[in-house]
């Protein structure tokens, strides 16, 4: 759980980190060489597309958000919607 890299999704004027478990699941799929993965996040299925680097809710209207893989210590708005002070 103490990897060098974490995963982030786009918010307004900044990036949110995925929650720890989701970030680990995304990292595992990425390292597996998958083109995409589908994960349950906050009660909804999301498709995470590694080719175009975005996420969006599966089978539902919603925002197409850019994602990135970056160092753990980069600036972010917080984790999964919880702001950092
Ligand atoms: N992890 C947690 N919540 C998510 C995720 C995710 N990977 N993806 C979407 N949501 P959509 P600002 C975000 C939430 O894309 O002020 C932030 O976490 C999403 O939450 O249409 O714009 C903040 O909580 C949104 O509430 O599926 O930067 C909030 O937006 C909801 O799912 C505001 O952030 C629908 O997003």
Q: Is the dihedral of CA 75, 77, 81, 85 positive or negative?
A: positive
CB 8 near ligand 1, within 6 Å: no
Ligand 1 close to Cβ of residue 26 (< 6 A): no
| Smallest CA separation from ligand 1 atom 15, residue | 63
Euclidean distance between CA atoms 52 and 42, whole angstroms = 23
Whether the pLDDT of residue 17 is over 60: the answer is yes
Q: Calculate the alpha carbon distances from 77 to 22, 26, 35 in Å.
A: 17, 19, 27
What pLDDT was estimated at residue 2?
Answer: 64
How many CA atoms within 13 Å lie on the side-chain side of 24? Answer: 5
What's the pLDDT band for 1 if we cut at 50, 70, 90?
Answer: low
Rounded to two decimals, the ipTM of the complex is: 0.98
State which ligand 1 atom lies nearest to the alpha carbon of 62: 21
pLDDT of residue 73: 93
| pLDDT digit string, tens, across residues 27-72 | 999 999 999 999 999 999 999 999 999 999 998 888 999 999 999 9
């Amino acid at each position: 759980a103490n990897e060098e890299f974490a995963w982030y999704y786009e918010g307004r004027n900044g990036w949110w980190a995925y929650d720890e478990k989701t970030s680990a699941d995304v990292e595992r799929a990425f390292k597996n060489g998958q083109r995409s993965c589908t994960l349950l996040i906050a009660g909804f299925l999301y498709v995470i597309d590694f080719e175009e680097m975005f996420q969006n809710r599966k089978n539902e209207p919603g925002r197409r958000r850019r994602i990135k893989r970056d160092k753990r210590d980069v600036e972010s708005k917080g984790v999964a919607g919880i702001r950092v002070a």
